[in-house]
Amino acid sequence: GQNIDQPTEMTATEGAIVQINCTYQTSGFNGLFWYQQHAGEAPTFLSYNVLDGLEEKGRFSSFLSRSKGYSYLLLKELQMKDSASYLCAVVTGGGNKLTFGTGTQLKVEL
Amino acid sequence: EPEVTQTPSHQVTQMGQEVILRCVPISNHLYFYWYRQILGQKVEFLVSFYNNEISEKSEIFDDQFSVERPDGSNFTLKIRSTKLEDSAMYFCASGYRQESYEQYFGPGTRLTVT
């Protein structure tokens, strides 16, 4: 079966750094995505990792350890607009489907 | 910047009725997907489509569901006889290359079955 775990909620302060963890156990692995989703909107792409290590993209970084089935998304210099749900999704199967975690609702406070 | 579009943005239908949700993927993309998200729950895969046939489908995608690419631009999801539990946001996504895996999501169609 497919199992992807993320914390349900996190709260952080504007300007701070937050790390959102994701652990996965899936049959097959073709990479891991992080998406941002604001309420009532579509997921928007943040990052993609297929090899172990850190990928940096502006204020956002994502890390992957395939041997540990673990990834994290690091958000720096938090802004109020970063308040959203962050979805971890693993690519599996010949059809390259995305299997999503339940998402982590991040609240950024003043 | 090219984007995936979906129509309608909101569809209300009665239980037992057929609905067709429409998507226009990004024009040079070859891989197409439907996902759904029941309110407050996670995004769930329904079906993937490539080269005019289904590549993979989930357990949710039963005989009541079908997909079609009737022309070079549209990608549709049909639900033959809607149930209350089909109420959800339905997202279409498309991708260009097998190895890039990145999927671009449309804005979604909110389906409400009464």
pLDDT-wise least confident of A54-58, B29-33, B62-66, B101-105? B101-105
Q: Indicate yes or no: CB of A41 within 8 angstroms of CB of B91.
A: no
The tens digit of pLDDT for each residue in B18-27 reads 999 999 999 8
* E strands, A18-83, in order: 18-25, 32-37, 44-49, 53-57, 60-65, 70-75
Residue A51 DSSP label: S
How close does chain A come to B33, measured CA to CA in Å?
A: 8
Q: Name residue B42's beta-bridge partners.
A: none
| Start-to-end C-alpha separation, chain A | 41
Q: For residue A86, which of A108, A56, A64, A109 has the smallest C-alpha distance?
A: A108
- Helix, strand, or coil (residue B112): strand
Q: Which residues of chain B does A102 touch, with a Cβ-Cβ cutoff of 8 Å?
A: 41-42
For chain B, the average pLDDT equals 93
pLDDT at B99: 59
Test B42 with A101 for CB contact under 8 angstroms.
yes
Interface mutation target, options A47, A91, A97, A105, chain B, most CBs of B under 10 Å: A97
Q: In the predicted model, what is the mean pLDDT of residues B83-106?
A: 88
pLDDT recorded at residue B98: 61
- For an interface test with A, the pick among B4, B9, B10, B105 (most A C-beta atoms closer than 10 Å) comes out as B105
Higher pLDDT, B97 or A60: A60
Test B101 with A30 for CB contact under 8 angstroms: yes
Residue B76's CB: how many other CB atoms inside 10 A?
Answer: 15
For A43, counting Cβ atoms within 10 Å of its Cβ (0-12 exposed, 13-18 middle, 19+ buried), the class is buried
CB contact under 8 A, A43 and B41: no
Query: Can you say whether the dihedral through the CA atoms of A24, A27, A29, A32 is positive or negative?
Result: negative
Of the candidates A66, A54, A55, A63, the one whose C-alpha atom is nearest the C-alpha of residue A28 is A66
Q: How far apart are CA A100 and CA B4, in angstroms?
A: 20
* Exposure b/e, A12-31, CB count within 10 A at least 16 = b: beeeeebebebbbebeeebb
